[in-house]
Amino acid sequence: MSTSALDGAPSLTLDEEREVEQQYEERADHLELAAFPSRTALTNDAEEWIRSLTGSGAKLLVGPRGCGKTHLMRFAFTQCIANPDLPLAVYINLNRYYTLEPLLRRRPEAMSMFYVWVLANVMVGCHESIGAFKAQGLDLEIDIDALLEFNETELRDLIGAYEKNQPLSAELDEVASRLTIDRVKQLLLRSSDTLGRRRIVLLLDDAALTLTPEYLSHFFDIYRALKSARIAPKASVYPGTTEYGPNFHAGHEADTIFVWKRVTDQDYLPFMLDIGAKRFPDMFSVPEDIRELLAYCAFGVPRAFMTLVRSYLKNAKRHGTAQSAFNVTIDEFLDDRVREYLTLKDKKPQFSSIVSVGKQLLDKMVEAVYEANQLLLESTTRQLYIGIDASGINDKPYVQRMLLLLQEAGMVYAVSGVSHGDRDYVRLVPHLAAVQARRAFAKKGGFSARFAVEMLSRPDEKHPVRRSMSTLLDSPTLEALCLDLPNCLSCQTKRVEGAKYCFNCGEKLTDESTYDRLMLTRLADVPGLTPWQREKLSSSDTLPQTVGEFIALQDPGTTLRTIHRVGQVRAKTIIGAVQAFLDEYLS
Amino acid sequence: MSLLETITPFPAPTATKLDTAKWFDATHVPIVESPIDEFRRNLAEINKLYLQAEQRSDYVPMLGSLVYLGMVSAAEGYFRSLLRRLIRQDTACEANAATRTVTYGAAIHHEPALLPESLFEGVSLASAKNVFSELRSLCGIQVPDSLQQLFQNFEAISQVRHCGIHRFGKLGSQQALRLGIDLHKPLLEKPLALQVKQLQEIADALQALIHAVNSLCFFEILKRTHMAGPTGREKEKLYQEAWQQDWEADKVRFTMYYDIFASTSKPDPSAPVKDVYDAFMAFVNNYDLAPKKSKAAVSPAAPVNTA
């Protein structure tokens, strides 16, 4: 988000106010349910995705942030309510898992607490579903508490106690002890019978649990246990996730549904433009060529497309030519994507240097694709794929991890590998915004959106640009790849990879809590704040100084408004920035 | 004739009579430390044995089997120390132990401080069931469901320990049955062969259990001192003394409890005694305010209030 117009200027324009409002709307979790059917683009792909959500069988919905997973789930949910032939849908968002992350570092029984927390969330979801069914005017005389055996308020109290890390009262402890997989399954079945639905789909949103692979593997144990003939769990995760745990074999236990639209698909452009037309019609104020080029640069992520369109419209007012507005838009967008990718260094500190090298690798891939396209300017094909010799990747866990992290952040799109001669190649598409920013689809010295779109609409080259890992990265870099593990906290000895105890002093090797560390971030350092806001926040005596203290406030809006010249709207932008920071880092 | 008597010849031992009294360290002065710190110190020493052997590429599974016994012994030692301290220092635990019998020998030879130890002489505390029942009957503490998994792991570790002690590591049928016959039937009479990674998992499982039990007992007993104290609402008054809610006045008594449970070992030492006392006073105030039942959580948390 950019609010640079606020710098030094006390009042907000109407446009800016709208921007603030829209920021919330762009995230599907902030959209009203009623807005879904009209705002959701149903292309062939999307219809199939929805069917996989409402149909039977366990599914993993895979795609990077912003590609519409939440949207699809909430849409499937509304469909299920409206259509009596569809199953009972229960929607559960797990995005607050991170509040339980500190427990992992301090409480040996954290896993049991997480287990109860997940089941309590499922039961709350079930309450909400039945509530939504009743709100649909179904003339049902249901005593929900009796039907579900768990009182909604108690469940919410229980969840709240875990999330705030408070001790459980005797009553809540009793509720917790009743929450078992078997009972939850029974209650789900009973609910579906009562509502006259044959099956149940559990829509488990935001299940990537990025900060806590420990919980993720446990979560998939629960997922597996919930699965039954009539109960189909569907979980949304990021690409590149591998930490499903020893008992869960993705592909075997669940079908993987890739909901990240591939930029090389035949119908890519119509798909994105259709979503745009339904969800943000102001897209039509952007000239057609530019609009299409922005759609390509969004790289299959609707939310990114929306951001690009909005940002272009804003830049177009400030910059003389369409070209410079476009270039600024792409550069800003790419900076944001790279910055988001680099946040993985904070979220997964052990991969910090692998993430840094991953950025170098991305740049090299982009360069390779750029060079290939420069040779095709006068030709009839395009080159979006890079093929990396698999021998430099197989059996190299750090290199594999690097590619997975790039996928997780949506910086590369992996497609099935190919063989060429006696060699196997891993095929990847690097982010098109990066390729575009390198001016891959432009003749020297000239920018033409028309030409770029024409080139991007061509068929693919027969073979990808082929490279080996050792030509993309020099050998000292490759050989130096390693995990970044903190030294033993007791004796400062360098730790051995995979060790739980220090060989020098015999003490437990502990990791600090990422959540606790992020909560210590100074409020004024939150990205997306304007210099004016930073200055005000850091010089205020009434406001808390860290993010952790800030979000603990009962009513941060009121507290913010104690600052001179901060009113409703500005308070909202600041809260929005903190929320975006939390979402970005913790989900 | 002599051939018949010496099918396995062996030289006569030089020490004809073993002097067991020399085997123990008579000069040892017990360190004043909490049971948990004693456990952590012991476990760390054991960890160094196999981890450093691995560093030198000297590790063999035989070492692993021996180390394993040491780890379980460290855990068992913790439970003994903790129960002994509680019987000596907490009046409710002392009352629970009062009707138990100790042997005559222990009664006349033990120092009073160590006498409670003899209560457990016939009991193995390398058993989840026994630990469970001692916690309940002596301390009045019910182990919550959230600790089930940790205790189950402890029970598995204890079962395998039987094989280590009595059968030189080979899996016996009793243990296979208890560990789950489906998975263990093919392993009957197969020897234990632990790798360093597994030893670390075992150490981790034991330490997790002991830290969890330690935290649980501390909180439960401390709560009880107030709830079953003169001003508490429990019917049965287990404590005559009330908390004064003044640090200077409560310091001695509170520190006594703190010292039983707190750990000074790095990493993650316990919070300072005054901080823990303040947290306890917050609990006491909350409890006193809530007339009937105290509800822990009032509203589910939202990350940011966007109103």
Q: Which residue from B209, B298, B303 is facing A108, i.e. has the nearest CB?
A: B209
Q: Which residue carries 């390729």 as its tokens?
A: A435
Is A436 contained in some domain?
A: yes
d(CA A501, CA A236): 34
d(CA B204, CA A465): 48
Q: Which of B210, B214, B195, B212 is nearest to B68 (CA)?
A: B195
CB contact under 8 A, B146 and A116: yes
d(CA A225, CA A122): 13
Is A209 contained in some domain?
A: yes
Q: Which of A99, A3, A581, A4 is nearest to A343 (CA)?
A: A581
Helix (H, G, I), strand (E, B) or coil at B242: coil
Helix H or strand E segment including A24: helix A14-26
Residues in B closer than 8 angstroms to A107, CB to CB, are 212, 215
Classify B169 in phi/psi space as left (phi over 0), alpha (psi -120 to 50) or beta.
Answer: left
Q: Which of A180, A188, A203, A175 is nearest to A74 (CA)?
A: A203
Tokens linked to A125 = 């979801």
Cα atoms found within 13 Å of the Cα of residue A260, Cβ hemisphere only: 28
User: Which residue of chain B comes nearest to A177, CA vs CA?
Assistant: B145
Is A170 contained in some domain?
A: yes
B198 Cβ under 8 Å from any chain A Cβ: no
CB contact under 8 A, B48 and A504: yes
Provide the edge-to-edge strand list for the sheet that holds A412-420.
Answer: A412-420, A423-430, A386-389, A465-467
d(CA B19, CA B40): 31
Helix (H, G, I), strand (E, B) or coil at B114: helix
Q: Which residue carries 């960890």 as its tokens?
A: B47
Q: Which residue from B145, B203, B209 is facing A112, i.e. has the nearest CB?
A: B145
CATH number (domain holding residue A132): 3.40.50
Contact A408, A239 (CB under 8 A): yes
Helix (H, G, I), strand (E, B) or coil at A554: coil
Q: Which residue carries 């992996």 as its tokens?
A: A414
Q: What is the CA radius of gyration of chain A?
A: 25
Contact A332, A304 (CB under 8 A): no
Distances (CA, A) of A297 to A28, A42, A306, A333: 21, 21, 11, 9
d(CA A554, CA A527): 23
Residue B122: Cβ within 10 Å count: 7
Q: How high is the pLDDT of residue A573? A: 87
CB contact under 8 A, B301 and A163: yes
Q: Which of B92, B75, B94 is nearest to B84 (CA)?
A: B94
Model pTM score: 0.86
d(CA A79, CA A87): 10
Q: Which of A338, A339, A387 is nearest to A365 (CA)?
A: A387
Total domains, chain A:
3
Is A5 contained in some domain?
A: no
A159 Cβ under 8 Å from any chain B Cβ: yes
Residues in A closer than 8 angstroms to B43, CB to CB, are 506
DSSP string, A56-107: SS-EEEE--TTSSHHHHHHHHHHHHHH-TTSPEEEEEE-GGGGGGHHHHHH-
Residue A423: Cβ within 10 Å count: 13
DSSP string, A462-521: SSPEEE-HHHHS-HHHHHT-----PPPTTT-PPPPTT-SB-TTT-PBP----HHHHHHTS
Q: Choosing among A113, A247, A508, which should be mutated to test the B contact, i.e. which has the most B CBs within 10 A?
A: A508
Contact A381, A264 (CB under 8 A): no
How many Å separate Cα B257 from the centre of its chain? 16
Tokens linked to A169 = 């009262």
> Is the domain of A285 the same as that of A242?
no
Is A6 contained in some domain?
A: no
> Is the domain of A227 the same as that of A358?
no
Distances (CA, A) of B291 to A169, A172, A174, B230: 14, 17, 20, 16
How many Å separate Cα A552 from the centre of its chain? 24
Q: Which residue from A106, A168, A490 is facing B296, i.e. has the nearest CB?
A: A168
Classify A479 in phi/psi space as left (phi over 0), alpha (psi -120 to 50) or beta.
Answer: alpha
> Is the domain of A473 the same as that of A570?
no
Q: How high is the pLDDT of residue A268? A: 93
Contact A211, A101 (CB under 8 A): yes
d(CA B155, CA A180): 22
Contact A119, A90 (CB under 8 A): no
CB contact under 8 A, A99 and B265: no
Tokens linked to B236 = 């049965």
Helix H or strand E segment including A425: strand A423-430
Q: pLDDT tens track of chain B, all 307 residues?
A: 688 888 888 888 888 888 888 899 989 887 789 999 999 999 999 999 999 999 999 999 999 999 999 999 999 999 999 999 999 999 999 999 888 888 888 888 888 877 888 888 888 888 999 999 999 999 999 998 889 999 999 999 999 988 878 777 788 888 888 888 888 888 888 888 899 999 999 999 999 999 999 999 999 999 999 999 998 998 889 999 999 999 999 999 999 999 999 999 888 899 999 999 999 999 999 899 876 544 443 444 334 433 3
Q: Which residue from B51, B297, B306 is facing A161, i.e. has the nearest CB?
A: B297
The ipTM estimated for the assembled molecules is 0.86
Of A258, A293, A312, the residue that ends a domain is: A258
Q: Choosing among B39, B50, B51, which should be mutated to test the A contact, i.e. which has the most A CBs within 10 A?
A: B51
Domain boundaries in chain B?
Answer: 34-213
CB contact under 8 A, B299 and A489: no
Of A202, A232, A258, the residue that ends a domain is: A258
CB contact under 8 A, A510 and B268: yes
> Is the domain of A470 the same as that of A555?
no
- Taking the CA of residue B44 and the nearest CA in chain A, the distance in Å comes to 4
Is A34 contained in some domain?
A: no
d(CA A408, CA A38): 30
> Is the domain of A525 the same as that of A558?
yes
d(CA B126, CA A341): 49
Distances (CA, A) of A102 to A107, A351, A553: 8, 20, 19
d(CA B13, CA B287): 68
Q: Could you tell me the maximum CA-CA distance found in chain B, to the nearest angstrom?
A: 102
> Is the domain of A134 the same as that of A221?
yes
d(CA B271, CA B261): 11
> Is the domain of A208 the same as that of A227?
yes
Q: Which domain holds residue A579?
A: 520-586
> Is the domain of A304 the same as that of A253?
no
Degrees to nearest 5, angle at CA A269 with A15 and A19: 10
C-alpha dihedral (A390, A393, A395, A400), degrees to nearest 10: -130
- Taking the CA of residue A95 and the nearest CA in chain B, the distance in Å comes to 11
- Taking the CA of residue A7 and the nearest CA in chain B, the distance in Å comes to 22
Contact A123, A191 (CB under 8 A): no
> Is the domain of A177 the same as that of A117?
yes
Q: Which of B212, B204, B214 is nearest to B259 (CA)?
A: B214
Which 249-278 residues of chain A touch chain B by CB within 8 A? none
Of A417, A452, A479, the residue that ends a domain is: A479
CB contact under 8 A, B267 and A510: yes
Q: Which of A215, A284, A225, A220 is nearest to A246 (CA)?
A: A220
A213: amino acid identity, one letter: P
Burial of A380 (0-12, 13-18, 19+ CB in 10 A): exposed
Distance from the first to the final alpha carbon of chain A: 18
**Which segments in chain A show pLDDT lower than 70?**
1-43, 137-140, 587
Q: How high is the pLDDT of residue A62? A: 93
Helix H or strand E segment including A387: strand A386-389
User: Which residue of chain B comes nearest to A179, CA vs CA?
Assistant: B145
CB contact under 8 A, A116 and B268: no
CB contact under 8 A, B146 and A507: no
Q: Which residue carries 């995760």 as its tokens?
A: A237
d(CA A354, CA A345): 9
C-alpha dihedral (B283, B288, B293, B299), degrees to nearest 10: -50
Residue A512: Cβ within 10 Å count: 13
Is A529 contained in some domain?
A: yes
Which 255-284 residues of chain B touch chain A by CB within 8 A? 265-268
User: Which residue of chain B comes nearest to A165, CA vs CA?
Assistant: B297
Provide the edge-to-edge strand list for the sheet that holds A59-62.
Answer: A88-93, A200-205, A231-237, A59-62, A255-258
Angle, to 10 degrees, between the axis of helix B247-261 and the axis of helix B273-289?
110
Is A156 contained in some domain?
A: yes
